[in-house]
Amino acid sequence: MDFTGKVALVTGGGNGIGRATSVAFARQGAKVMVVDRDGDGAQATVGIIRQNNGDAVAVTADVTKVADVKAYVKAAIETYGRIDCFFNNAGIEGKLAPTTEYDEAVFDAVIGVNVKGVFLGLRHVLPEMIRQGGGAVVNTASVAGLVATPGMSAYVASKHAVIGLTKTAAGEVAHQGIRVNAVCPGPVDTRMIHALEEQISPADPAAVGARYQAAIPSGRYTTVDEIANMVLFLCSDLASNTTGGQFVVDGGRTATGGAVTNPVRQ
Ligand code: NAD
């Protein structure tokens, strides 16, 4: 997976999965535009890449604001001349609550980042890729885009929507040499999963983590690097006719229905 001479743009690149994927792209030779509303986080990711002799630039942007999205696209074109790989990844989890009690403002915020942010990214990056005559996009959905997690109506709806956006865009731009796929992580060891553990049990989040991980056939959360590997594969020429797909990386959790007890594994 050689990305020498390629340009990758990563939203949510200031932390977690986005940071690991930015670093992985750079390690494989890509120049990386790291986009995040957390400017310090984006700058820290750039620092890691430069320490390893890579090439990266940070842009502070809120993916829900069209002016910011246009600005990050412009910055990428002005700095690096093109966008070969677009990891459309920024997302938020919202609050845990039954649908009957779900806060309307939180619902709007989750849909704003996870759906509108992903849409705006596609809306403004794809024209550049069309102009160039090719490119690869990976949108971050989730296993919550495939199955429900009770208590997460906004998040589940938003990630199902990401899969809808992925399939729609894939069909629209395939003949222009552009591929659009979705990665569907299960629980990944980042701030987000630990924030959810804490929402479920502020007194003992570690116990929630242990229970969650026991429900995963591999016995553990996925690492950020394991998601980065899938994203790089989907952006690489190895995936040259792969488009419109949803790629689960979850240690077997979705396949087994997320059963909490596993009588087979001792
Ligand atoms: P994270 O909170 O560590 O990173 C998310 C990043 O997105 C942060 O740097 C944050 O500042 C940025 N961000 C949030 N809203 C933004 C906005 N409006 N504009 C610009 N940047 C914004 O979480 P993560 O686990 O790395 O999440 C990355 C993606 O992976 C998200 O889309 C998330 O839904 C998805 N995901 C995570 C998990 C998990 O268990 N961690 C599982 C499935 C899917």
Mean pLDDT computed over every residue of the chain: 96
Overall number of domains in the chain: 1
As a whole number, mean pLDDT of residues 246-250 equals 98
Q: Is the pLDDT of residue 97 over 70?
A: yes
Lowest mean per-residue pLDDT among 17-31, 47-61, 139-153, 251-265: 251-265
Q: Is residue 216 part of a domain?
A: no
Q: Is residue 89 part of a domain?
A: yes
Q: Is residue 114 part of a domain?
A: yes
Contacts of 115 (CB under 8 A, 6+ apart): 158, 161, 162, 165
Q: Is residue 208 part of a domain?
A: no
Residue 228 is part of which domain span? 7-186+222-252
Q: Is residue 61 part of a domain?
A: yes
Q: Is residue 98 part of a domain?
A: yes
**CATH number reported for the structural domain that contains residue 38 in this entry:** 3.40.50.720
- Tell me which of 80, 155, 212, 221 is the catalytic residue: 155
Specify whether the CB–CB gap between 248 and 186 falls below 8 A.
yes
264 CA to centre of ligand 1 in angstroms: 33
Instruction: Locate the ligand 1 atom nearest the alpha carbon of residue 221 and give its number.
Output: 40
State the sign of the Cα–Cα–Cα–Cα dihedral 247, 115, 89, 181. positive
Active site residue 212: no
pTM: 0.97
Using 50, 70 and 90 to split pLDDT, how confident is the model at 95?
A: very high
Q: Is residue 258 part of a domain?
A: no
Instruction: Locate the ligand 1 atom nearest the alpha carbon of residue 41 and give its number.
Output: 9
pLDDT at 266: 44
Q: Is residue 178 part of a domain?
A: yes
Helix axes 66-80, 118-132, angle to 10 degrees: 30
